[in-house]
Structure 1
Amino acid sequence: MCPWLARFLLLCLPFPVFGQVPKPRNVTMDSVNFKNMLLWSPPAARGGNGTYTYTAQYKLNTKRLPYNDMCNDTVLTHCDFSIEGNYGLLLRVRAQLHSGESDWVEIPFDPYVQTIIGPPEVKVTSRAGILDISFSGPNKESDNTPLNQIYGGGRYRVLYWKERTPSAVKTVDSLQNTEILTNLEEWTMYCIQVQLFIPDYNKSGQLSQAICERTTDDGKTLPWVIAVTFMLSMLVVFGIAIGIFYLALTIYKTTRYIFFPAYSLPQHLKEYLNKPFFSTPHLPTQSKEEEGEPCEPLTFVSEEKEDTGGTV
């Protein structure tokens, strides 16, 4: 065969010698919060004028069961296996070009071990001398189930430090979705990060973004504040008592003025008004003792008669 003819045939072949299609490259599983995505790269050799298609399959990690198709004859270079539960699987993918097929590229996958646990959502609030922290998630991508529930147990690990001393990190674990940080310095900026930790797998999730919050006072009330508060309370109570007393006195005086006036009629006017208006008027009569008394004569003496000794 002529050399130029051999070169021409090699260039025109849609795939390498003997009709073997090259395998996909860089087959890996990208899994975050149980969102399981099988990824690969196209074969290194070009497929001539055709386009590669791919088939991805799965089965439980045992030799007895057959493979099942998940992505069949797709032109994409990824396949989503999130809906296949949380079991140990064997995954494989191959390339197709025209009527040719490549060998399978197989990888094992255990989502409990290989999935990456994302960061939880964290909220921090400051109140007197303490920091309140609440956290939730991360959750499974497909059905929003909390990951600590999927793993059958987990705890949140809270890391906190003073903003001015980031190397002095303290850690506290919580089985609940809240944690209260106490014994903190007053008026100090603290930074906080939280991650989900799975003890059964010794598996730590990603840390949340650092949140920095300033504490207020130490939460203790000073004695002089207590004394001032007590005095103000007493003054308020005393003022309210005086107000109630004057209000009651005003109501009493008003009621007495309306229903029981202070002025009264003279006694003789009361007696007169008590007598009936239709009684017969009569003149006063003399008593019997006055009738029996003799009348005494009335003597008039003039000055002239006194001189002569006469009597009238």
Structure 2
Amino acid sequence: MSAAFYVWFLFWCFQTNTAGAQLPPPHNLKINSMNTNYTLIWEWDLGSADNGTVSFTTQYVAKYKLRNLKKSLSWYTGCETTSHRSCDLTKLKLYYLGIFRFRVQASVNGRVSDWATMDFCPDKDAALGPPSKVALSPEGRNLDILISDPMTSTNSSMKEHHEDLYFQVLYWERSADAQAARQTLTSKTNVVTLSHLKAWTCYCVSVQSRYDFYNKSSSFTPPLCIQTEGSIPWWEVFGYFLLSLVIWFLVMLLFIYGFLACFKELKATFYPSVQLPALFQYLCDSSGSDIPRLLTESDSELLCDKVTVCPAPPVLEIHNPPPEFLPEPTGLETDSSGKHSRSSSGSGDSGVYSTGGSSNLRQQHSGQDSQGPLDSQQVKMHDMALGLKTHLLIADEGIVDMCV
């Protein structure tokens, strides 16, 4: 009897030491979810770590696989040896209508705790989020509310999982009274129109998502406020009309002014006021082109006068006669035989006679027909010089001395 008691005592001490060596498992498991975003969180007593570093492992499996005991069960790891007391399950992309079992285990210095488990069904347990966006648009005295569906983690509409999802709209007139009467309405469409509101009054709107199958409802969106519109007064319409007319008139005036300025510049460039001379205008093509053309033979006859080219008159050179034919350097005197003789002028002339001298010479020549051979030769020379002198006087309009 004492031996049996001794064995039982040893076994009890062994069980006590073994139980004290085990770590306590995590507790108070829950999932924070919103649409298809899931995060598993838990609690654990830090005093059980015994100055060691604690880590946690999270695994999951579809619950229907637990019913088949004949097959070996394989768990999938969601988070392994993490020091955080949470595990993000969104990346697992769990089937929304499925049921899953999660389990968490603590580990400190090689010692492990038991598994703490919980079941989770996204369709039933996941919270429903509010609309992703709400916009207001006044239409006169009416107010249009544009609602965007709640979005999943893959940016798709939650109506893919909840076909009967609808919205509850809460609206009220903004005033100093915080307890102003609030009205609600429901709609399955994404556009809601609030009608019969007060004109030029500010209204606030807040929207909530709802799903009645599991009695899901989201939080309300932050209030949005906007002022309604109303009929525009006639004087405001008339003022807008006058303003539009003035703007239109100014625009047309600027357009016409710019057009005239451009037209004036183009005209001055291509059609200048200074015209070409008639001769150069004729050189241009008869079709109106400004490109000059060459003159033909008929054109040159029409433009140019007839010109008669005469040869240059020969220059008559009169040389001094030989010495034997020169008269004596004396004036014309009556000698003893009754004949006149030529006297020298005494001025050293070389035989050049002026117009007066030529006339005197002619008178002497007409009065003395009975001169000798020398006098006749001198008269011929004077006549020739007189004709040449007259021709040169006409040509040059001056007096030209000649040598005889």
How does 1:52-201 map onto structure 2 within 5 Å?
Answer: 52-62=54-64, 63-64=66-67, 66=73, 67-82=75-90, 83-86=93-96, 87-120=98-131, 121-141=133-153, 143-164=154-175, 166-201=179-214
Tell me the residue number matched to 1:35: 37
- Partners of 2:127 and 2:222 lie apart in 1 by 16
Letter in 1 for 2:217: S
Specify which structure has the bigger relative contact order, considering alpha-carbon pairs within 8 angstroms and separated by 6 or more residues: 1
Evaluate the alpha carbon distance shift between residue 125 and residue 24 of structure 1 in structure 2; reply closer, same or farther with a 3 A threshold: same
Deviation at 1:36, TM superposition (A): 0.6
What's the CA shift string for 1:130-175, capped at 9, x where partnerless? 111111132112x112112221231121111111364422222222
Q: Is the partner of 2:47 in helix, strand or coil?
A: coil
Structure 1 residue aligned with 2:48: 46
TM-score (norm 2): 0.48
Q: Give the aligned partner of residue 208 of structure 1.
A: 221
Is the contact between residue 22 and residue 44 of structure 1 (CA under 8 Å) also seen in structure 2? no
CA displacement at 1:17 relative to structure 2? 5.1
**Separation in 2 of the partners of 1:112 and 1:89?**
11
Aligned in 2, Cα 1:16/1:50: closer, same or farther, shift over 3 Å? farther
Which structure's residues are more often helix, by fraction? 2
SS in 1 for 2:38: strand
**Percentage identity across aligned positions?**
29
Shift of 1:61: 2.8
User: What amino acid is the match of 1:178?
Assistant: V
CA pair 97-16 structure 1, distance change in 2 beyond 3 A: farther
Contact 1:156 1:173 in 2 (8 A): yes
Matched-pair contact (CA < 8 Å) for 2:41–2:85: yes
RMSD: 2.8
Cα distance, 1:97–1:129 mapped onto 2, change above 3 Å: same
Secondary structure at 2:67 match in 1: coil
Equivalent residue pairs, number: 214
Ranges of 4+ aligned residues in structure 1 off by more than 6 Å: none
In structure 2, stretches of 5+ residues that fail to align are 1-16, 246-404
| TM-score of the superposed pair, with normalisation by structure 1 | 0.61
Following the alignment from structure 1 to structure 2, what is the Cα–Cα distance between the partners of residues 84 and 128? 47
Task: Name the larger-Rg structure.
Answer: 2
Q: CA deviation at 1:25?
A: 3.3
Q: CA deviation at 1:38?
A: 0.4
> In the aligned structure 2, how far is the partner of 1:44 from the partner of 1:167?
51
**Equivalent residues of 1:23, 1:43 under 8 A apart:** no
Task: Provide structure 1 residue ranges, at least 5 long, that are not aligned to the other structure.
Answer: 1-14, 237-312
